[in-house]
Structure 1
Amino acid sequence: MSKIGKIARRTFLIGSAAIVGGVAFGYYAYKKPVANPLLKGLADGETALTAYVKIDADGITLITPRADSGQGAYSVQAIMIAEELDVELDQIKVDPGVPSRAYYNTALAQEAAPFPSTNDSFTANSMRGVMDAMMKFLGMDITGGSTTVPDGFTKLRVAGAVARETLKAAAAQKTGVALTDLRTSKGAVVLPDGTSLPYTELAAIAGTLDPVDEVQLRDPSTWRLMGKTTQRLDIVPKSTGTQDYGIDFTLDGMVHATVRTNPRRGGAMQKFDASDAKAMRGVSQVFEISTGVAVIADNTWRAIQAASAIEIEWDAAPYPAEMEDHWQTLSDSFVADRVDSTMKDEGDVQAALDTGDVIEAEYRAPYLAHAPLEPLSATVLVQDNRADVWTGTQIPSFLRGNVADITGLDKDDVHIHMLMMGGSFGHRLEARVVQEAAEIAVKMKGTPVKLTYSREEDMTHNDTRQIAMARGRGTVKNGQVESFDLGIAMPSVIASQMGRQGISVPGPDTQIVAGAWEQPMRIPNYRVTGYRAPELAPISSWRSVGASSNGFFHDVFLDELIHAAGADPMAERLRLCWHDPSRKVLEKVADMSNWGAPLAANQGRGVAFCMSFGVPTAEVVEVTATEDGIRLDNVWVAADVGTVVDPVNFENMVQGGVVWGLGHAILSEITYSDGMVEQDNYDSFEAMRMYQVPNIEVAGLENADQVRGMGEPMVPPAAAALSNAIFAATGQRIREMPMNKFIDFV
């Protein structure tokens, strides 16, 4: 039986009385109710009590506010609601809803609080509560941080349960049958004689009732959808090419726009000459905007061609023009006055370093582009008293504020229509394409404007992953790791990203040390220090953020210390690990990979572990050193997310994340020359090829107490496990990415 027990009415009552003809249900376990956003703009026959389940005479709509960029977010949210509502997935449709403080992300506080996920103390949980209150106050309606499942795991199921029980109450009122004699099945209330009353027929009555104030969540042993093999809602449209994305959106009378902005990010424009562009076929306007020049044409291709014909003189970049100066800035940041945090400091590291033989190493991780397949686009229509935006985004509430500022309208008069995204990896946490589209639309009031970036504009103006450097010092003693001292230098991702929204975030940036400081290893003398480098090129959240580089730094250095101690890499990690779920993922991946079995002379296996986003993840990579280079043969992954809601999607997410992590580690970097990005398309920013992809086996464990997400945690250990495997096979230690600068791959 669920621990939820009795749900006080105030925890899920939202808004005012229902309107006859339909009903909507939802759940908010908060002391102060938030206005139900479904109450605005209801169609005839629709009603809204709460905010996640809407039923009218025509069908059932589930509100799935966490954005879908291809990771299956709409489906997994629908599964959690439908499990308790007792409907089949082919009986519902999903709607991302509208931006609202009601949909603030309840799981973001876990990552924002300066405590490791393994800390369950009163102080840690109190701080998480404070951070959660801040998220609610700010209306952080955001998708990111692997939070879709943990955000919805309780509240979406309760929303479904409240809806189910209220519909049963409606059936009891209609038929006179006792509530205890009713049950539900496949979108209907079933009477003792077997008669089925569809939810759609009960919606009008349910709309006149207060939601039932006592619900019990179903025991996992009775689940029909959660934890079972299900088909994602978007499988058919994506398999048949009929899925629409933001870039496919059209409106009658729409014009097409593109932009050219300073390739030296943040630099100004001195002047431009658009005479040739204006004379080109289909071009109607060329004008200056705050970031550069906009071109309006009758289709996107003509707009892009015209933009490339404009002669422009740009100012210099506000960051170092050459790549070596970026690295030098990081190198110069390992000083006392640049210390941002020392969130891990156990034992006496300095004493151990002073008395032992010190092992030292330096590691580097480059800038990386998000590079989703769908280039950024947004359609904006500005009218006298409202503005409408159609786009794929992870930050709908922020966009409302951005567009309100640009148009001078009130936030309530800005309407964001969320569209499916063809990839993101954090790219859609930025607002520039919508801001520029709104600026253009203000100049063309009453005309819908669709702004689409060229691939080159998108790639060269991407707010990339952070550049980072780490320096490790450590000692070993009696065949064991004795001390571990890791310093990490990078600019602040949070300051750069939130700064573009005009928000200043006080205190240390935990992303500088994320994926390093919170590792559950009992090393006698253990320190992780974050050094906040000066701002360089603009950076943003890239899949797994700080952990994407820090997982590599931390585990490769640990592997070096273990090798120096003469210990087995798996056995020593297990000895050091004090956290039971983490030990179990290490044990599981050891079993999956048959760790310790003999290998050929030219083969090697590397293991890596990283706790990120609260998820312990262990990976083993097996490689073969051939005459032509390193071949990736096999990868084994074990991770513990507490509960696996959708096993098929879980496996696919993990496999995709491993390919993402390995491909970038081998092949990819963004570099600057003369202040400009040198990689402008996929020919210069390569991805892993199909023939390079190893066999990947996945195990999802469910030992952890708390439910977590899996969008990002498999990325941080991938590069480390590969580096460790290359060392095992060749004796060559790779400490910098991309690795193809130092070794060949086949």
Structure 2
Amino acid sequence: MSRLGTITRRSFLVGSAAIAGGVAFGTYLYKRELDNPLLDGLAPGAAAITPYVKVDASGVTLITPRADVGQGAYSIQAHMIAEELDVDLAEVTITPGPPSPVYYNGVVSAEGMPIAATSETFLARTGRGAADVAGKLLGLQLTGGSSTVPDMYDRLRTAGAVARETLIAAAMAQTGLPRDQLKTEAGAVVLPDGARLAYQDLAAAAAEIDPVTDVTLRDPSDWKHLGKPQMRTDVLAKSTGTQTYGIDMVMEGMVYATTRTNPAQGGAIKGFDAGRAEKMRGVKEVLPITGGVAVVADNTWRAFQAVQAVDCDWGPSPYTGNTADQFEAVAAAFTEDTQDSQFRDDGDVTAALSEGEVLSVEYRIPYLAHAPLEPMSVLVKLEKTRVDIWTATQIPRFMQANVARLTGIDAENVHIHVLMAGGSFGRRLEDDYVMRAVEVAQQMPGTPVKMVWSREEDFTHDFPRPLAMARAQGKVADGQLAAFDLAIAAPSVMESQLKRVHQPVFGPDVAIVAGAWDQPFAIPDYRVTGHRVPAMVPVSSWRSVGASGNAFLHESFMDEMCHAAGADPLEERLRLCTHDPSRKVLEAVGEMSDWGADLGPGRGRGLAFCLSFGVPVAEVVEVIQTDAGLRIDKVFVAAEVGRVLDPVNFEAQLSGGVIWGLGHAMNCELTYKDGVPQQDNYHLYSGLRLYQTPKIEVRGLENGGKLRGVGEPGVPPGAPALANAIFAATGQRIRDLPLSNSVDFA
């Protein structure tokens, strides 16, 4: 059980306050009260039962504060509350709630610490606990790192149980019946004669009693929702086109805006001539903003057309401007002066590699754009002492602080209304587009401004996943891996991102080596070193962050070493594996794929493994040579997450991660010329096509370990498994991504 779960059970305190005929119960951790934001403006007769449950005359509202970017976060959070509260999710309101420190993320900050997920030493447990404390003290409300389920599992179930028992106590006071004669069902307390007291009718009575804090969570054998196939709460709206995404927000009297900023990332604008644009139909304003211009019009399309008619004089990019030069800067970073970390240094690698035959190779991975289907969009209404912002975001509190800093308006008067996102993959961990929209709104106070970026603006001003290089050396002996030395050089994601949210930057960046240094293999001489490349193009988190590329670097070399040793790639990994859950994952994917069976001519099978975000995942990819090129036929993927809370979404998330990983490995890269990204829309940045999508078989292992999230861990093994399959089928070893630069795909 995680430290967070233990603390939650032992320290779940509930404070009550009768306010305007209602009652409020707050969930507080570490015996320090955090304000319940639902109490602000609570209506008479309403009850805010913990920061996650509110009941009023209209019904029950569940607060699901982790952002939904398509991964089903709202749904699983609601199901965790409903498991204890006994409500019909079709009859309740589900909302992310306001930004608040009480919704801090206590798990995600641990990802930035050099603690292997497999480690259970006192130091490791203490470090994770410290990360949880830091998350609370900083009010770190963000969504990322596959942390929603592990972070919220105990909190939300406990919040539901406290609300349930308190409403039962209210019914006891109202009816005089004992607890053992009452039960709950579908949003009501049920009396012995079958009469039902709806939760909303008990709120006022609940205000008159002390909250029930001594609760017992239901045993998984009694679960009605969790662990069983669920229909996601967003399925109906998304299937019928009625889901409101950030881009769908409208308001009476609003105007439409878009921006055009220097296509060379970080470059300034020396001046502009808006003469042509100002004469175009529907144009209301052409306004200066940081690094460019904005056009305000009577609809988005006219704004798009007019902003392209503005004659802009752009300044140069302050960053290394060409991809070749950027890779030269990465190559130059393999020095002692740039060493950022060496978290793995087993045995004596230097001595092991000083004699005998040594395999030396180099790998490269490119910049990658986030490219969510829903482009950056926001609606801003700015008044003298208040700002309201409607958008899809993963960082509501950081956004709140940045808007306050920009406008001079107190953060408590900056109201972030979080909406459903049409994809993110890490892009909505940034708020640059919101800052540009706020600049427009500052010049049009009192007028709601809806800003949408064109696809080209979105691509061009993305903060991509960083490029990286690896230099690897290895040695084999007696048919086994004997020495494994992997040096990785990349710009720092954490340094780049933290500066944009005005947070301190210190210590090594674990992301540079994530998914490489912490792999559960006992190679006698085993070293992983991270080198920090001096900042170039600003970079950001991308689905599975450092592990997204490092798995390709680590597992490609692992495969090369296995073949150099004459060892079976699966058997050698099993021999080296020191982590029982990871071993079981490898065994499972071997069984699923019938590893070792003869596939016949023109076919190949590749294996890759990666432990990221605490989740061991193994994938086997099978490819076929055709006259039109290579075709991916089947993919087998096995993962261990402790417990599968929703089998349907579990399969969807792992399958989606496979498709995401394979599509980018095959086709995608972001290259720069004079500081300008050369891929500015999907026709130049193509993912996996429907006709190319393989059959994917998923298996979730539940061996009772720590509960983990699965939104990201399915991505990292895809690229190396595919590259290793290509080698198996063709004998061609590819060490650079994307793979389509070296082979054709059917």
Distance 1:24 1:82, change over 3 A: farther
Using the alignment, how far apart are the partners of 1:329 and 1:442 within structure 2? 40
Counterpart in the other structure of 1:346: 346
Structure 1, unaligned runs of 5 or more = none
Counterpart in the other structure of 2:323: 323
Task: Provide Cα deviations, 1:584-606, integer angstroms capped at 9, x if missing partner.
Answer: 01011111111111111211111
Using the alignment, how far apart are the partners of 2:597 and 2:280 within structure 1? 67
Counterpart in the other structure of 2:379: 379
Counterpart in the other structure of 1:427: 427
Using the alignment, how far apart are the partners of 2:30 and 2:645 within structure 1? 24
Counterpart in the other structure of 1:236: 236
- SS of aligned partner of 2:682: coil
- SS of aligned partner of 2:515: coil
| 8 Å Cα contact 1:482-1:525 kept in structure 2 | yes
Superposition map of 1:464-543 within 5 A: 464-543=464-543
Shift of 1:44: 4.1
- SS of aligned partner of 1:488: strand
What letter matches 1:577 in structure 2? C
Task: Provide Cα deviations, 1:628-651, integer angstroms capped at 9, x if missing partner.
Answer: 211100000000111111110110
Mapped pair 1:660 → 2:663: no
| 8 Å Cα contact 1:264-1:675 kept in structure 2 | yes
Using the alignment, how far apart are the partners of 1:309 and 1:43 within structure 2? 51
| 8 Å Cα contact 2:50-2:163 kept in structure 1 | no
What letter matches 2:212 in structure 1? V
Distance 1:5 1:168, change over 3 A: farther
Counterpart in the other structure of 1:700: 700
Counterpart in the other structure of 2:438: 438
Shift of 1:669: 0.5
Using the alignment, how far apart are the partners of 1:2 and 1:147 within structure 2? 12
Counterpart in the other structure of 1:560: 560
Shift of 1:48: 2.3
- Single out whichever of 369-378 and 101-110 deviates more from structure 2: 101-110
Shift of 1:205: 1.1
Counterpart in the other structure of 1:574: 574
Shift of 1:744: 0.6
| 8 Å Cα contact 1:370-1:425 kept in structure 2 | yes
Shift of 1:2: 13
Task: Provide Cα deviations, 1:34-71, integer angstroms capped at 9, x if missing partner.
Answer: 01111112234323252001111221110000001111
Task: Provide Cα deviations, 1:455-509, integer angstroms capped at 9, x if missing partner.
Answer: 1000111101111111110000111000100000000001111111222321000
| 8 Å Cα contact 1:20-1:207 kept in structure 2 | no
Counterpart in the other structure of 1:367: 367
Mapped pair 1:59 → 2:90: no
| 8 Å Cα contact 1:56-1:203 kept in structure 2 | yes
Counterpart in the other structure of 2:591: 591
Mapped pair 1:633 → 2:638: no
Counterpart in the other structure of 2:608: 608
| 8 Å Cα contact 1:516-1:551 kept in structure 2 | yes
Task: Provide Cα deviations, 1:157-201, integer angstroms capped at 9, x if missing partner.
Answer: 000011111111111111111123322222222223333222222
- SS of aligned partner of 1:736: coil
Using the alignment, how far apart are the partners of 1:209 and 1:57 within structure 2? 19
Using the alignment, how far apart are the partners of 1:483 and 1:682 within structure 2? 42
The root-mean-square deviation of aligned C-alpha atoms, in Å, is: 1.7
Structure 2, unaligned runs of 5 or more = none
- Single out whichever of 507-516 and 351-360 deviates more from structure 2: 351-360
| 8 Å Cα contact 2:19-2:42 kept in structure 1 | no
| 8 Å Cα contact 2:45-2:203 kept in structure 1 | no
Shift of 1:237: 1.0
Shift of 1:291: 2.5
Using the alignment, how far apart are the partners of 1:501 and 1:6 within structure 2? 29
Using the alignment, how far apart are the partners of 1:733 and 1:18 within structure 2? 69
Counterpart in the other structure of 2:674: 674
Superposition map of 1:84-483 within 5 A: 84-483=84-483
- Single out whichever of 583-592 and 133-142 deviates more from structure 2: 133-142
Distance 1:22 1:224, change over 3 A: farther
Shift of 1:344: 0.4
Using the alignment, how far apart are the partners of 1:397 and 1:179 within structure 2? 41
- Single out whichever of 394-403 and 701-710 deviates more from structure 2: 701-710
Using the alignment, how far apart are the partners of 1:262 and 1:5 within structure 2? 50
Shift of 1:23: 4.8
Distance 1:568 1:2, change over 3 A: closer
Shift of 1:287: 1.7
| 8 Å Cα contact 1:17-1:208 kept in structure 2 | no
Using the alignment, how far apart are the partners of 2:379 and 2:43 within structure 1? 24
What letter matches 1:672 in structure 2? Y
Shift of 1:404: 0.9
| 8 Å Cα contact 2:8-2:155 kept in structure 1 | no
Counterpart in the other structure of 2:12: 11
Shift of 1:387: 0.8
Shift of 1:104: 0.4
Task: Provide Cα deviations, 1:697-717, integer angstroms capped at 9, x if missing partner.
Answer: 101111152111011101000
Counterpart in the other structure of 1:41: 41
Shift of 1:217: 0.8
What letter matches 1:440 in structure 2? V
Using the alignment, how far apart are the partners of 1:85 and 1:127 within structure 2? 33
Aligned length, in residue pairs: 745
Shift of 1:136: 1.5
| 8 Å Cα contact 1:26-1:160 kept in structure 2 | no
| 8 Å Cα contact 2:17-2:24 kept in structure 1 | no
Task: Provide Cα deviations, 1:491-532, integer angstroms capped at 9, x if missing partner.
Answer: 000111111122232100000000000100011110000000
What letter matches 1:441 in structure 2? A
What letter matches 1:12 in structure 2? L
